[in-house]
A and B are shown apart, each in its own frame.
Chain A
Amino acid sequence: MKEYIYLVPLFPLLGFLLIGFTWSRMPRKWVSIIGCTSVGLSTVLGFGAIIDWLLTMGSHHPFVKTLYVWLPLKTAVPLDIPFAFQLDALSALMVAFVTFVGFWIHIYSMGYMAHEEGYNRFFAYLNLFMFAMLTLVLADNFLLMFVGWEGVGLCSYLLIGFYYQEKWPADSGKKAFIVNRIGDFGFLVGIFFIATHFGTLRYEEVFAKLQADPGAYLGVAGIIALCLFVGATGKSAQLPLYVWLPDAMAGPTPVSALIHAATMVTAGVYMVARCNLFFRASPTAMAVVAVVGALTALFAASMGLAQTDIKKVLAYSTISQLGYMFLAAGVGAYAVAMFHVFTHAFFKACLFLGSGSLIHACHTNDIFEMGGLKKVMKTTHWTFLFSTLAIAGIPIWAGFFSKDAILASVFAFAQHHHGWAYLLYGLAAVTAFMTAFYMFRLYFIVFHGEYRGHGHPHESPRSMTLPLQVLGIGSLLVGLVGVPAVISHLFHVPNVIEKFLHPLTPEVEGLAETTFHLSDSMEWILIFGSILIACGGIALAWWLYKADPEWKRIKAFTAAFPRLHKTVFNKYYVDEFYDATAVGGTIKLSKASAAFDQGVIDGTVNGMRHATVGTSLLSGFFDLRVVDGAVNGLAWLNKFCGDLFRRVQTGVVQNYVFVFALGVFLSLGLYLLLK
């Protein structure tokens, strides 16, 4: 079955083509069937292929299916870039959750989009996205990954701008695409470095060369790592390129769940994990990743504290969680980073779908126009609570395990090698506190207290609640695949995910290590520490928003620090800053270039024209007066002479004879006289 791995991305593409070619003519029922079935088939086939691969080859040996040579590059050694798909531990993990979560979000969309215009367009784009995302994760070389990479960016653009008649979605889609392109620029340069220095773009060959002789590539590996990381900061919304993701919320909510939370935005983490050998060759690159991750986590979490739009809160929390993942990758804990990608996909998708259900019911994004929904929307409530507990890091929900593993890895990294990394641990701990706080702030405002809106909220249809239930239960359970070492020892349950991803990070002499060990006592301390932090955040949210139904305390606080509140509420004015500098600068430069083009370059050309025309006028004058004058003068002289002599030519023969005779006589007389 693994031979058919290429069908996993192909089915959704087929779905896209079928829906796309008939566009608005196909009845909605058929669109739903095709759209969901294609992804369903991918899911089934994906799982089948993974199981088949595990049974026949084991997780240590990648399986590659080459379709054909896509791009033959003529270099010293011909570099044929194939269309080929690779199944290994990392791609298997990605395929598993992308298809699974993707399928349930497709189901959910049937209900959510039921009353929307452009239903067919929506499903076509969603299927196209699945194709691109699966190509991205299944590619066996960097260039094909780039195809998927830009492909998901395109779908993101199309889906953010789904309500294209409004200004905000259209602007946001464009913004997302262009910011991503800035990142892609780095990725592309990185690919050129790889192609030039390794003579191939296939993962297996590149990494085999790097493993065989890491010393030979130490310098360039760091450059490659940093170039690729620029790409990752674009796609995964990290500092300084995170600005597009909050605006990406302009798209329909299932899109936010699928693309801007569960799958696409984690592509950067996937890429860094995939290329971990490059990063491990350069301590600088690793430090950059870790620091950017930690700062983004904190920065984004702080912006989430004061948002009033439910989707914006979730968007900032996504950026923050992605920061966590990069932090883990930066300290060398790639398996842990991927573990958080995995658990995050479930609980964040569940949160977004939950928010979609709320928006569907209340017709608003503003959390202050919701409230008291615990009673009327039971399924939405418990699934939202589950995923909130998961993201806050409460045991035994999924987020607890992965977040704890990240904190422990950072701590161990600091303990073993780099004292400065304690600072990163500190940032991560503060972020964890904030996360628990703003998520429960959201929860208490939306589900507790009295309803503050104007409509009559009701529970969503079955097609929406079923995916919520599935993902809600997922948020509870999926963390169990990655229990911490101490618990693993205590209950004799293996850390499945770490074992499974082990082939991803081979130990290589000369490259940074990827596993650290903490003493059991230290690990217990950290576990209880993180539980305490999470509970602290929840308690604060409870104290401010639940125990104080009038919200007097928080109102007093914001009144006391109006400036601070305003700055955070306006997201530190980063967007305004970018608009004034990068965006404004480019537009000014573009206008200046156009003016230069018109004025100077074309001006010169026209100037030459004027000069030529001017000269020709002058020479025309000269021609007319001098040259022609001379000619005319000559003609005049001629005429004058002619007029003069014309009188002689009377045409009368007698005259001629007379003059002739006169001449003869005169000459003769003269002759005789002088002789």
Chain B
Amino acid sequence: MDFVKTLPILSILTYLPLLGGLIIVFLNKENVKGVKAVATGISGLTFLLSIPLWFAYDHGASGQGIFQFIEKGSWIPSLGVNYHFGIDGIALLLILLTTLLSFISVYSSFTAIQNREKEYYSLLLLLETGMLGVFCSLDFFLFYLFWELMLVPMYFLIGVWGGPRKLYAAIKFFLYTLVGGVLMLLGILALYFYNTTGFLGFKGLGNPVSLDILHFHQIGAGIPAELQFWIFLAFFFGFAIKVPMFPFHTWLPDAHVEAPTAGSVILAGVLLKMGTYGFVRFSLPIFPEATWKLLPWMVALSLIAIVYGALVAMAQGDMKKLIANSSVSHLGFVTLGIFALNPKGLEGATLQMINHGISTGALFLLVGIIYERRHTRMMEEFGGLSHQMPNYAIYFMIIALSSMGLPAMNGFVGEFTILAGAFDRNWLWAAIGASGVILGAAYMLWMYQRVFYGKLENEKNKGLTDLTWREKWTLIPLVVLVFWIGLYPKPFFDRISQSVKYVVQIVDPGYYGSIGGK
């Protein structure tokens, strides 16, 4: 699989969906079959092309050698902007998740989307380009470009193909993330000027202009504490809104509820990870001192998210709203792991990003399946579906269990590792976090009971048909991953451990020193 190293594989992956989107634009609007074929073909091809990365990535490398498949060229020299692509193990896993979920999203939309297919699929592919670009970028300019690029197609996906309150949700989503993005841009500018001329009384370093992320990893620790604090906050808002962390989370249930199924899958599966990825890629390694200073706040917000998100989820009557709020809780685990600032916490957090994408992505697919049949997601409308749709019930059970963190499934591996990492910092953090596991069981099983158990009494549910093969095929890869990660997570840990070590070495240089350089 090493042949990919001779190709600009990351650029190919990133722009292939864009190309697909362009092809679709030139197709005839009436040619729905052709549109679907191109979309499926291109997103499938992107997924296939991303697989060699898994094998070709050298997970033994250390230091900045963890960034591989590098493509670098000067782009706007006057601003110090380079075209700089490259991925570490963390980005690698997120890219694979993105290509898989994008493919599944396209494939799952065939019957759900019945109008403006041409625009829909081309926007979906454009979105994929944006997401892949974010994970590949090692230059702030490029990163910001892709970051904002994602926003537009998502806005339209919610606003055009969404539910009854789609406009409210789309605008809320757009404005919220835009505010975060702008604050992040301010942070980037501050870094830029600090590196060169200085600003607002902060003395600059006098370096040549640069927006290279790896460069800032190196000089980050030297930034004065006060400046670190403010730039950390600027980035924090950008990421915390994306994650979303409590109390910036209320755009999420609205966006999820109104978005079409594929939109929800992508939103939960990938877009939320942009925030947590940002913390790991920027906040921790560039602002180590500020990270330590704000640690109590970050952990407190994470723990609140875990418990509070679960409690809010429990009170919902709409399945999608419940799952959306459970995302807040699950992402709380991820941020808790990140701010445990040790290898266990960060590795667990990274794996949990993937796990959440798999499990919650699958849950949204499942809800979408029933929504397509009944055009409602209210639990009170259902009951007794086990009898009518046995296969659907089995898949739903497996995914619900994985979301609850049942051992031997993916969620448990991630949560356990995170909590073990948090425990090392403070046992109380882990104890509070672990209580979320009890609530998780409560709301999931309660939802399952209300939808699947009992007698099939609602007349409207009596004609429901079980899963089609196409629907099964959207779920099967995710179920396989659930058990693969649950039973044999080592290949995943292997691929991220050096990348995590790289971050820990910057944010807590004493960690490895204190234990004999192990």
On whether A178 and B438 interact (CB within 8 A), knowing A70-B488, A75-B344, A192-B427, the answer reads yes
Contact B515 A76, beta carbon cutoff 8 Å = yes
Q: Is the CB of A71 within 8 A of B455?
A: no
A188 contacts B446, CB within 8 Å? Answer: no
From B315, B427, B500, contact of A593 by CB (8 A): B315
CA A195 – CA B439 in complex, angstroms?
A: 24
Contacts of B417 on A, CB cut-off 8 Å?
71, 73
A167 to B449, CA, bound (A): 9
Q: Quick check: A165 and B311 within 8 Å, CB to CB? A: no
Report which of A23, A167, A185, A590 forms a contact with B312, defined as CB distance below 8 A: A590
Cβ contacts under 8 Å, A189 to chain B = 427, 430-431, 434
Chain B 332-375 interface 0/1 with A at a Cβ cutoff of 8 Å (1 = within) = 00000000000110010000000000000000000000000000
Given the contacts A188-B434, A586-B442, A75 and B424 also touching, CB distance less than 8 Å: yes
Alpha-carbon distance A117/B311, docked complex (angstroms): 37
Query: Is B223 in the interface zone, CB < 8 Å from A?
Result: no
User: Does A181 contact B437, Cβ atoms closer than 8 Å?
Assistant: yes
A182 shortest CB reach to chain B, Å: 6
> Least Cβ distance of A140 to chain B in Å?
15
Interchain CB contact under 8 A, A181 and B430: no
| Docked-complex contact B407 and A147, CB < 8 angstroms | yes
Interface centre among B314, B430, B441, B452 (most CB of A within 10 A): B441
User: For window 595-618 of chain A, which residues contact chain B by CB distance below 8 Å?
Assistant: 597, 601-602, 605, 609
State which residues 157-176 of A face B: CB under 8 Å. 157, 161, 164-165, 167, 170-171, 174
Asked if A667 is at the interface of the complex by the 8 Å CB criterion, the answer is no
Contact yes or no, B497 A601, CB < 8 A: no
Given the known inter-chain contacts A170-B449, A178-B445, A589-B311, please indicate yes or no for A72 contacting B420, CB distance below 8 A: no
In the complex, B470 has a CB within 8 A of chain A: no
Whether B347 lies near A74 (C-beta < 8 A) is yes
- In contact, A150 and B407 (Cβ under 8 angstroms): yes
Question: Which residue of B is nearest A182, CB measured?
Answer: B438
A347 at the A/B interface (Cβ < 8 Å)?
A: no
Cα-based distance from A70 to B417 in the complex (angstroms): 12
Are A71 and B413 touching (Cβ within 8 A)? yes
B493 in the interface (beta carbon within 8 A): yes
Contact partner of B435 (CB less than 8 A), chosen from A24, A174, A185, is A185
B316 part of interface (Cβ distance < 8 Å): yes
* Interface: A49 (CB within 8 A): no
Contact code string A68-82 (vs B, CB < 8 Å = 1, else 0): 111111111110000
Interface: A151 (CB within 8 A):
yes
By the criterion CB–CB under 8 Å, are B419 and A192 in contact? yes
Q: Which of B427, B434, B445, B490 contacts A72 (CB 8 A)?
A: B490
The reply to whether the CB of A146 lies closer than 8 angstroms to some CB of chain B is yes
CB distance from B360 to the nearest CB of A (A): 19
User: Does B143 lie at the interface of the complex (its beta carbon under 8 Å from any beta carbon of A)?
Assistant: no
Check: B235 CB closer than 8 A to any chain A CB. no
Partner of A167 from B308, B430, B454, B488 at Cβ < 8 Å: B454
| Whole-angstrom CA separation of A147 from B423 in the bound complex | 20
For A72, the chain B residues whose CB sits under 8 A away are 490, 493, 497
Interface of A: prevailing SS:
helix
Distance of A313 from chain B, by nearest CB (Å): 27
Q: Which residues of A contact B454 (CB under 8 A)?
A: 164-165, 167, 170
A259 interface contact, C-beta 8 A: no
B437 surroundings in chain A (CB, below 8 A): 181, 184-185, 188
For window 574-598 of A, CB contacts with B under 8 Å fall at 586-587, 589-591, 593-594, 597
Q: A188-B437, A189-B431, A189-B434 are in contact. Are A597 and B452 (CB under 8 A)?
A: no
| Cβ B250 vs Cβ A601 within 8 A | yes
Q: Mark A170-209, 1 if CB is under 8 A from B, else 0.
A: 1100100110011011001100110110000000000000
Most buried by B among A164, A182, A586, A609: A164
Does any Cβ of B come within 8 Å of A228's Cβ?
A: no
B181 interface residue (CB < 8 Å to A): no
Stretch at the interface among B7-15, B116-124, B383-391: B383-391
CB nearest neighbor in B for A167? B454
Cα–Cα distance between A178 and B416 once the two chains are bound (Å): 19
Contacts A68-B488, A69-B490, A591-B315; A170 near B453 (Cβ below 8 A): yes
Question: A165 and B455 in contact (CB under 8 A), knowing A75-B344, A151-B407, A591-B315?
Answer: yes
- Residues in B with CB closer than 8 Å to A73 are 344, 417, 420
The answer to the question of B18 belonging to the interface, with a C-beta cut-off of 8 Å to chain A, is no
Q: Which of A75, A195, A586 has the most CB of B within 10 A?
A: A75
- Minimum distance in angstroms from A76 CB to a CB of chain B: 4
- Asked if A154 lies at the interface with its beta carbon under 8 angstroms from chain B, I say yes
Q: Does B464 contact A (CB under 8 A)?
A: no
Is the pair B438, A165 in contact by a Cβ cutoff of 8 Å? no
- Roughly how many angstroms separate A601 CA and B252 CA in the complex, as a whole number? 12
Min CB gap A564→B, angstroms: 35
Residues in B whose Cβ lies below 8 Å from that of A170: 449, 453-454
Q: Are A143 and B401 in contact (CB under 8 A)?
A: no
B406 in the interface (beta carbon within 8 A)? yes
B408 within 8 Å of A (CB atoms): yes
- Chain A residues in 8 Å Cβ range of B434: 185, 188-189
Interface check B247, CB cutoff 8 A:
yes
Contact across chains for A196 and B424 when beta carbons are under 8 A apart:
yes
Evaluate contact between B416 and A143: CB separation under 8 angstroms: yes
**Nearest-neighbor residue (CB-CB) of A180 within chain B:** B441
Whether A70 lies near B312 (C-beta < 8 A) is no
Chain A residue with the shortest CB-CB distance to B387: A165
Rounded to whole angstroms, the CA-CA distance of A590 and B442 in the bound complex is 11
User: B445 near A193 (CB under 8 angstroms)?
Assistant: no
- Residue-by-residue, is B447-484 near A (CB-CB < 8 Å gives 1, otherwise 0)? 00100111100000000000000000000000000000
Min Cβ gap A579→B in Å is: 14
What's the minimum C-beta distance from B217 to chain A, rounded to whole angstroms? 21
Nearest CB on B from A669, distance (A): 68
Q: Does B308 contact A593, Cβ atoms closer than 8 Å? A: yes
**CB of B429 to closest CB in A, whole Å:** 11
A188 and B407 CA atoms in complex are apart in Å by 12
Cβ-defined contact, B344 with A74, below 8 A: yes
Interface 1/0 per residue, B479-518 and A, CB below 8 Å = 0000000011110010001001000000000000001001
Nearest CB in chain A: distance from B498 CB, A = 11
Contacts A178-B441, A178-B445 known; A154 to B406 CB distance under 8 Å?
yes
Q: Please tell me which one of the listed residues B408, B438, B489 contacts residue A181 in the complex, with CB atoms under 8 A apart.
A: B438
Tell me how far the C-beta of B55 lies from the nearest C-beta in chain A, rounded to whole angstroms: 20
Q: How far is the CA of A659 from the CA of B488 in the complex (A)?
A: 102
Separation of A462 and B347 alpha carbons in the complex (Å): 56
Judge whether A164 and B446 touch: CB under 8 Å.
no
Contact A181 B424 (CB under 8 A): no
Cβ of B513 to closest chain A Cβ, rounded Å: 12
Pick the contact of A597 from B312, B390, B420, B490 — CB < 8 Å? B312
Contact of B407 among A69, A146, A182 (CB under 8 A): A146
A-B contact pairs, 17 of them (CB 8 A): A23-B390, A73-B417, A76-B518, A143-B407, A154-B401, A154-B406, A165-B387, A165-B453, A178-B445, A182-B438, A185-B437, A189-B431, A196-B427, A586-B314, A590-B312, A593-B308, A605-B250
| Given pairs A73-B420, A164-B454, A195-B423, 20 additional interface contacts (CB within 8 A) | A70-B489, A70-B490, A72-B490, A72-B493, A73-B417, A75-B344, A76-B518, A143-B407, A157-B445, A174-B449, A177-B441, A185-B434, A185-B437, A188-B419, A192-B420, A195-B420, A586-B442, A590-B311, A597-B250, A605-B172
The 8 closest A-B pairs by CB, nearest first: A594-B315, A74-B343, A170-B453, A147-B407, A602-B250, A593-B311, A590-B314, A192-B423
Name B residues whose Cβ lies closer than 8 Å to a Cβ of A. Answer: 172, 176, 247, 249-251, 308, 311-312, 314-316, 343-344, 347, 384, 386-387, 390, 394, 401, 406-408, 413, 416-417, 419-420, 423-424, 427, 430-431, 434-435, 437-439, 441-442, 445-446, 449, 452-455, 487-490, 493, 497, 500, 515, 518
A binding-site residues for B, Cβ under 8 Å: 23-24, 68-78, 143, 146-147, 149-151, 154, 157, 161, 164-165, 167, 170-171, 174, 177-178, 181-182, 184-185, 188-189, 192-193, 195-196, 586-587, 589-591, 593-594, 597, 601-602, 605, 609
